[in-house]
A and B are shown apart, each in its own frame.
Chain A
Amino acid sequence: MPTISTKKKNSNGKASGSAFKKEIYLSWYEEMYRIRKFEERALMLYSKQKIRGFCHVYIGQEAVAAGIKSALRPSDNMVTAYRQHGLALSKGLSSRSCMAELFGKATGCVKGKGGSMHFFSREHNFFGGNGIVGAQIPIGTGIAFAEKYRKTDTVTVTMFGDGAARQGALHESFNMAMTWKLPVLYICENNQYAMGTSVSRTSNVTDLWKLGLSYEMPSEAVDGMDPEKVHAAIEKAAAHIRSGKGPYYLEIKTYRYRGHSVSDPAKYRTKDELEHYKDLDPLEIIEERMLKSKFASKDEIEAMQAKIKEEIDEAVQFAEDSPFPEAHELYEYNYLQEDYPFIKD
C-alpha cells in the first residue's frame, strides 16, 4: 500500500501547530471546505443528472490547492488537467460560475461551452481545464515562455497527475524548460492512480519527483495532505523561479477519496488504503490545529462552514435558474473572425 509518512493527526499531542499566521489557517480551511462542499454537491447533482458528461472530483486533494494559493500571487498563472474544479475555485473563479458551468448553463464561467473539464478565466489567470492527459504540460511551459519573453516575474504553475507523468510531452517540456530556464513550476499531483492503474504498474520509476533529475531540474517530493507542507515547498520553489533560475518540479503526494470519475467504483484499491488517507484528511488536520492554537473556536468554524454551505446552495440555485445557451451560440467562439463562413449545409 502506498503511504505518506505524515503522522496521524498529531497523535503525539504536539501541535505541529502554528508555523503560519492565523489568517492563513483560516483561509486554508475556508478554501478546502469550499472545494469539499462544492465537489460533494457536484457528485449529488450528477446522480440527479443535473450535471452530465465526465466529472472528476478533487475530494481528498484540497490541501494542494490551498497550499498553492497561499504561497503564490493571484497574478501567477495556472494550467491543469480535467480534475480542476478545486483548483479553479482556489484561483478565484466563483462557486456560482463554476456550478453553472457544470450545469452547462449560459452563465457558466465559459458559457456552457466547456463543462466539468474546461473551466477558464483570463481575469484569474486560470488557463484551464485540459481534457487530454499531459497536453497541458507543454502549454504551461509555453505560458511561462511568454512570461520570460516579456521579462515578468510571474510564475506559471503547470499541474498534472501521476498518469500524465508517463507522457512524452512531460519529457519534451522538462527538457526545453530547463534549456531555456523558463519560469514554470511543475506540480505532479500524485494521487497514486492513473484512472485505475497504480503508479507502480506504469513504470520502474515510482518516485515521480526523480523524473526531473534527468534534466537537472530541482525536484522534490512533498506531503500533499498538509497545506503547511505544500505552502512551504511552493514558497521555496517560487522564490527559485522568480530569481530567474528556471523551472522547479514538485511531486505532491496526495490521494483522491473518490473514483477517477463519477462512473468509477475504484475497485482497484483496498478499504484500508482509503481509510488510511481519510485519517490524514487535511480539513480535519487544519481544524484540529486551529482549535489547538485557538485561532478559531468550534462555533466560529461552524459559522464558517454554514457560510460556505450557503454559498454553495446559492450557486446551485443560480445554476438551476440560469438559462441554457441559445442554439445560435453554437457558432460563437469557433473563430475570432466575425464573418467566418461556416459550412451549414
Chain B
Amino acid sequence: MSRIITLRDALNEAMSEEMRRDDSVFLMGEEVAQYNGAYKVSKGMLDEFGPERVIDTPIAELGFAGIGVGAAMNGLRPIVEFMTWNFAVLAFDQIVNNAAKTLSQSAGEFSCPIVFRGPSGAAGQLAQQHSQTFESWMANTPGLKVVSIIDPYDSKGLLKSAIRDNDPVCFMESEIMYGLKGEVPEEEYLVPIGLAAVRREGTDVTIVSYNKSTILANKAAEELAKEGISAEVIDLRTIRPLDYQTIVDSVKKTNRLVVVDEAWPFAGVSAEVAYEIQKYAFDYLDAPVTRVNSADTSLPYAPTLVEEYMPNAAKVIKAVKEVSYVK
C-alpha cells in the first residue's frame, strides 16, 4: 500500500524506522528534539525515543559533529543534523579530517558509520551565507559518500541505506522541498547508494541533474516535448560514488548532454560529469557537453539578482537547444 506523504515525513519515517530497528542509532543536532526540528523533520521523535536518543545540542557544529565522530568510532551510528549545510562549514574539520579518514589512518582498526544530514542549496532570498551547495565540496573527499535527493520515495530509501552504511555519508536535502509530496509505500524498502535514476525517458538529449535542479530538468523536458525535442532526465541521487554508467548509456542513445547543477561552475559535479562523458562517450557526442549552473558569484539578496543567479527552466531549454543546434 502506498500513501502520498511529504519529503519531510519520508525522512522522518526513515530515521524512526532505523531507530526502532537498531538501538545504536541516535539523532543529534540543533532543535531536533523539543522544537521537533527546525524544519520539523524530526517531529515526534523525542516523544517516541526519549532524550537519550534524540538530542538537542548547543549551537556548536564543530563540537557536536566531533562528538558524533567519536561516538561512531566507539560503536554507535549517529545521525547528525545540520540546520543547513552552510553551518556544517564550521564542522568540516571533523567531517573531512576525521570522519573521512578514520578508516584509512587507522587501517581499519576503527570505522566511522555516521550520517551528516541537512539541507543544501539556495532557498530564496537568503543571501550569500545561506544559499550554497556543498555536494561537490564533500564529494571531493575520498572516504565520504554523498547523497543529494528530494524525491520522497528515494529520500526515504536512501536515508535508510545511509544509516545502515558502514561508511560516513553526507546526506543533502533541500529546505524549500520538505513539503514536496510523493508516493511512498507503507512497507519497508531500501534504495541503494550509488545508483542514478532515469526520471524520464527520451531520445534526443540527456539532461543530468540532482536535488531540486531535477525539477527544472523535468519542467524543461516537458516544455521541450511540446517542441518535439525528446529529453531523457537523469537524477543522480548519489554524488559519490557517481553512477557514470547510467549517464554514458543514456548519452550513447541521445548523443547530447546538458548538466543542470545548482552549484557553482568551477570544479563541481557538472565539470566531473562532463569529464567522464568526454572520456567514455567521446565518439557518441554530437555536440560539446553543456552545463547550467548558478552564476560564478555569491548569491545576493535582491529578487532580480536571485533570478539572474539561479538556474531555471528557461536556461535549461536554451542549453538543450544549443546542443541540439536548434534555434
- A→B interface (CB under 8 Å): 77, 79, 109-114, 118, 120-122, 127-132, 135, 137-147, 149-150, 168-169, 172-173, 175-176, 179-180, 332-337, 340-342, 345
Interface size class of B (residues with CB under 8 A): 35 or more
User: In the bound complex, what is the Cα–Cα distance between A138 and B110 (angstroms)?
Assistant: 16
Binds A, one of B13-21, B93-101, B123-131, B254-262: B93-101
- Residues of A contacting B298 with CB < 8 Å? none
Knowing A135-B94, A336-B166, say if A149 contacts B76 (CB, 8 Å): yes
Q: A131 to chain B: closest CB distance in Å?
A: 8
Partner of A129, one of B76, B103, B106, B111: B106
**Quick check: A142 and B68 within 8 Å, CB to CB?**
yes
**Quick check: A110 and B105 within 8 Å, CB to CB?**
yes
User: In the bound complex, what is the Cα–Cα distance between A335 and B69 (angstroms)?
Assistant: 16
The answer, yes or no, to whether B231 is at the interface (CB within 8 Å) is no
**Quick check: B105 and A118 within 8 Å, CB to CB?**
yes
- Residues of B contacting A120 with CB < 8 Å? 105-107, 109-110
**Quick check: B105 and A176 within 8 Å, CB to CB?**
no
Chain B window 252-277, contacts with chain A (Cβ cutoff 8 Å), 1 for yes, 0 for no: 00000000000000000000000000
**Quick check: A142 and B71 within 8 Å, CB to CB?**
yes
User: In the bound complex, what is the Cα–Cα distance between A121 and B74 (angstroms)?
Assistant: 12
Residue of A nearest to B103 (CB): A333
The answer, yes or no, to whether B303 is at the interface (CB within 8 Å) is no
Q: Which of A112, A122, A172 has the most CB of B within 10 A?
A: A172
**Quick check: A142 and B167 within 8 Å, CB to CB?**
no
User: In the bound complex, what is the Cα–Cα distance between A127 and B112 (angstroms)?
Assistant: 12
Knowing A113-B105, A149-B26, say if A334 contacts B68 (CB, 8 Å): no
The answer, yes or no, to whether B228 is at the interface (CB within 8 Å) is no
- Residues of A contacting B165 with CB < 8 Å? 337
Binds A, one of B31-39, B58-66, B312-320: B58-66
The answer, yes or no, to whether B327 is at the interface (CB within 8 Å) is no
**Quick check: B142 and A334 within 8 Å, CB to CB?**
yes
**Quick check: B107 and A113 within 8 Å, CB to CB?**
yes
Knowing A138-B66, A341-B194, say if A172 contacts B72 (CB, 8 Å): no
**Quick check: B103 and A335 within 8 Å, CB to CB?**
yes
User: In the bound complex, what is the Cα–Cα distance between A150 and B111 (angstroms)?
Assistant: 18
- Residues of B contacting A337 with CB < 8 Å? 165-167
Partner of A175, one of B55, B60, B74, B94: B60
Q: A5 to chain B: closest CB distance in Å?
A: 34
**Quick check: B97 and A135 within 8 Å, CB to CB?**
yes
Partner of B143, one of A112, A132, A141, A334: A334
Knowing A137-B66, A175-B60, A176-B58, say if A145 contacts B71 (CB, 8 Å): yes
- Residues of B contacting A176 with CB < 8 Å? 57-58, 60, 63-64, 67
**Quick check: A333 and B107 within 8 Å, CB to CB?**
yes
**Quick check: B67 and A141 within 8 Å, CB to CB?**
yes
Partner of B60, one of A111, A128, A172: A172
- Residues of B contacting A175 with CB < 8 Å? 58, 60, 63
**Quick check: A135 and B98 within 8 Å, CB to CB?**
yes
Chain B window 72-83, contacts with chain A (Cβ cutoff 8 Å), 1 for yes, 0 for no: 111110100000
User: In the bound complex, what is the Cα–Cα distance between A143 and B76 (angstroms)?
Assistant: 9
- Residues of B contacting A172 with CB < 8 Å? 58, 60, 62-64, 66
Sample (9) of A-B pairs whose CB atoms are under 8 Å apart: A120-B107, A141-B70, A142-B70, A145-B76, A146-B75, A168-B62, A176-B60, A335-B167, A337-B165
- Residues of A contacting B185 with CB < 8 Å? none
Q: B209 to chain A: closest CB distance in Å?
A: 21
User: In the bound complex, what is the Cα–Cα distance between A172 and B198 (angstroms)?
Assistant: 44
User: In the bound complex, what is the Cα–Cα distance between A180 and B56 (angstroms)?
Assistant: 11
**Quick check: B97 and A138 within 8 Å, CB to CB?**
no
CB-contacts of B115-146 with A (<8 A)? 142-143, 145
Knowing A337-B167, A341-B241, say if A122 contacts B67 (CB, 8 Å): no
